[in-house]
Structure 1
Amino acid sequence: MVVTLRPEIAALPPYRQGRMASDDAFKLSSNENPNPTHPAILAAIAESNLNRYPDGAATALRARLAERAGVSIDEVHVGAGSASILYQLVQAAAGAGDEVVYPWRSFEAYPGIVTVSGATSVRVPNLAGGLHDLDGMAAAITDRTRVVIVCSPNNPTSTLVTAAQFSAFMAKVPQTVLVILDEAYFEFVTDPHAVNGLRELENHPNLVVLRTFSKAFGLAGLRVGWAVGASYILDAARSAAIPLAVTEPAQLAALAALEVEADLLAGVDDLIARRGRVVAGLAEAGWSIPDPHGNFVWFATGDESTAVAAMFEDDGIVGRVFADDGIRVSIGEEGSVERLLSSAARVVGTLPRAVENARLG
């Protein structure tokens, strides 16, 4: 005899973390910030009282974020990473018989989050170049749709949604449908036409914006994400949350990160410049990739993806492979740039079909 489980959960593959790397390779599979932790953050963590439970409401951090966003504290929610808040929002809004619309390919956790809620995924394929098909997503909304997820910059294609595109899209979405704008990589965007979720909230009461401290602020190991939206929606998310999930070290680190934000964003500027050199080098080698707006680049290598990833790994570059779709490679340490470009150039001469796939993808 075996325990009876929900069959859709038993069949669901668990979220797969980016592969680890050997000592002589660069781990560019998880979109981590390669810059060392700021001393002020380390000092803040050292003040933690680990024998005590954290403030379950993350009051100080929410107050600081509310001030930053120009909203009330009740319109801010903090979770153990923005993915956990996404999970809570979907749990709060969608269940059996409901639908959740999202682009595909996008963040790999989306399908699992929807399945666990009991709802049905409606995946809308991206356009050529990895862009969201916002018209297709709007057309996919039915009377069963409860949530729509937009990801900008999109993970893993690194493409973005412009403010004009987002406004046109929102005009087609019923206000009874929750729209979640996932902006985990917002700080890496330099395009002035890109959507900025915090600026859109006033016009769209059914919108919740997700941000995170994991990427630009370098706190991936502590898991701190935040959301801004209508208080009643976030109250529902709070009701679906695991109590006390955001630890005191995480809260103190996030507060300290906000105090040294200028230093951290200077590091982001360095990564953006490094990203530009990667893009230029790939183009010179003969690659065509989507213009990246996150801290990663996307190789739409199609059915050659596994072979290309193996070549990258032989050269000390560990990327994130999405079988038969492509490879996502994070912008990492300075030393990774020449190694990536050298390996990518070797692929051009060895697997020309992969390069052709990327050109068409």
Structure 2
Amino acid sequence: MTPRSHGGPDEGGVPLHDFSSNSNACGPCPQALAAVQEADATCYPDAAYTLLRAQLADFHGVSVSRIVLAGSASEFIFRITALAVQRGARAVWLPPHAYGDYAQAAQAWKLPLLARAEQTQLRWACDPSSPIGAAHAGLDQLAGGGAVCVLDRAYEPLRLSGVLALPDSALQEFWQLWTPNKALGLTGVRAAYVIAPAGTEERVAQLEGLAPSWPVGTHGVAMLQAWTRPEVQTWLANSLATLRDWKARQVALCESLGWTCLPSAANFFCARPALPASLSLEQALSALRAGGIKLRDATSFGLPGQVRLSVMPPAAQDALHNAWQHLDKAP
């Protein structure tokens, strides 16, 4: 198994300025945070999540039978891979640059990754995708042939431009994976849910059979319930306006350092830094981390020489700008 690579805190603790995690930098959402803090952790949640599933179904305008709860996006990725194997999957397709757990789950089940989607029985997509922040090419051609097709919508709530690259008719053929903790600035609360395609009741039941009891704890339930509240959605919409301003400023700042920034529709983007002649990218990122600034090396995404940066407040941007200018003088 290859080592897992993630953004966020590491052995050095929580970075002072963390560009490596795609959490909403305007967060945490006050109403959602209050709901989590007020949750009664002395009790189990309802094992069937009756009220929560009804609230999520109403929020999305779908039947309750289509809502599947998950401990996290990563937990669901491994569980639906197991489901695909049980249903005869022999190979997996995923985008050239994608979240590492898709491939990790395939590797755990010894499923090869194939370049041609039509030859696979489990297919992954994400829009906006990580690390690029754009839709994958040919997204509307993925579904069909009896394959299990999953659309990771982790960053749909943090979309800053554009629209989903799927018509609604095609979207209904995908398992839609939602993880609101990023949009709410509460990534430490692990909880997710999925909207199953219509008419897949048998597969939903099989997925439920693969889950442990209580996959979502009390705090996760509180966060997901808060997610459906109008005041939380209003806060999120207002935060997107702020993030757009911050993103324009951050891209301009990076370009002023000679970096090449790739276009992105989300609250993050990839860039190729202009490195001092004396330093490798690994050395530069290590020096920044020692100074409390963390960027995500995009090598594990198949983008060597690039970094992925989440959009951060101006103070963090200025700290990055100043630290980068002094990198070649660092001890």
C-alpha contact 1:309 1:327 (8 A) present in aligned 2: no
Query: Size of the alignment, in residue pairs?
Result: 314
Question: How far apart, in 2, do the equivalents of 1:83 and 1:53 lie?
Answer: 22
Say whether the 8 Å CA contact 1:18–1:29 is kept in structure 2: yes
User: Match for residue 30 of structure 1?
Assistant: 21
Secondary structure of the corresponding residue to residue 175 of structure 2:
strand
- C-alpha distance 47-284 of structure 1, shift in aligned 2 (>3 A): closer
Q: Deviations over 1:285-335 (max 9, x none)?
A: 332221122222212469943134235335542112244353222223331
- 1:73 corresponds to which letter in structure 2? V
Q: Match of 2:212, SS?
A: coil
For the pair 1:318 / 2:285, whether they are aligned, the reply is no
Counterpart residue number, 1:44: 35
Report the more deviating stretch, 221-230 or 37-46: 37-46
Residue deviations 1:255-307 (CA, integer Å, cap 9, x gap): 12332221133123312321121112223333222112222221246994313
Equivalent residue number for residue 106 of structure 1: 98
Instruction: Tell me the equivalent position of 1:68.
Output: 59
Closer/same/farther in 2, CA of residues 337 and 87 from structure 1, 3 Å limit: same
Q: 2:118 aligns with which of 115, 128, 141?
A: 141
- Specify the alignment match of 1:82 in structure 2: 73
The answer to whether the aligner puts 1:119 opposite 2:111 as a matched pair is yes
Conserved 8 A contact 2:27-2:184: no
Q: Which residue identity is paired with 1:319? A: L
The SS at the match of 1:104 is: coil
- SS of 1:149 mapped into structure 2: strand
Residue identity opposite 2:254 in structure 1: L
Using a 3 Å threshold, how does the CA distance of structure 1 residues 220 and 194 change in structure 2: closer, same or farther?
Answer: same
Q: 2:254 aligns with which of 279, 282, 285?
A: 282
Secondary structure of the corresponding residue to residue 238 of structure 1 = helix
Partner letter of residue 84 of structure 1?
Answer: E
Structure 2 portions without partners, runs of 5+ = none
Amino acid at match of 1:327: V
Instruction: Determine the C-alpha separation between the residues in 1 that align with 2:269 and 2:171.
Output: 31
Query: 1:13 — aligned with what?
Result: 3
The match for 1:155 among 124, 130, 134 is 130
The 3-state SS of whatever aligns with 1:49 is: coil
Out of 55-64 and 30-39, give the one that drifted further. 30-39
Kindly provide the CA deviation profile for residues 181-232 of structure 1, in whole angstroms up to 9, marking residues without a partner as x.
1121112223334326xx63x4455411112112112231111212112242
Note the residue ranges of structure 1 that are not aligned, 5 or more in a row: 1-10, 125-138, 351-361
Does 1:226 pair with 2:226? no
User: Aligned in 2, Cα 1:150/1:36: closer, same or farther, shift over 3 Å?
Assistant: closer
Task: Output the CA distance in 2 between the equivalents of 1:336 and 1:60.
Answer: 40
Q: What is the one-letter code of the residue matched to 2:307?
A: I
Distance 2:206 2:248 in 1: 41
Q: Cα 1:23–1:40, aligned 2, differ >3 Å: closer, same or farther?
A: closer
Structure 1 pair 160–340 and aligned structure 2 pair: CA distance change class (3 A) = farther
Deviation at residue 345 of structure 1 after TM alignment: 5.7
Q: Distance in 2 between matches of 1:243 and 1:218?
A: 27
Distance 1:67 1:343, change over 3 A: same
Give a deviation string over 1:51-110, Cα, whole Å, max 9, x none.
Answer: 322123322222122112221011121212222222221110136871111013211222
Q: CA–CA distance in 2 between the matches of 1:41 and 1:180?
A: 27
Match of 1:166 in 2: 139
TM-score by length of 1: 0.76
Q: Which residue of 1 aligns with 2:233?
A: 261
Q: Aligned partners of 1:27 and 1:240: how far apart in 2?
A: 35
Match of 1:57 in 2: 48
Q: Is the 1:26–1:316 contact (alpha carbons within 8 Å) kept by the matching residues of 2?
A: yes
Judge conservation of contact 1:305–1:322 (CA < 8 Å) in 2.
no
2: CA distance, partners of 1:229 / 1:97: 18
Across the aligned residues of Structure 1 and Structure 2, the Cα RMSD in angstroms comes to: 3.0
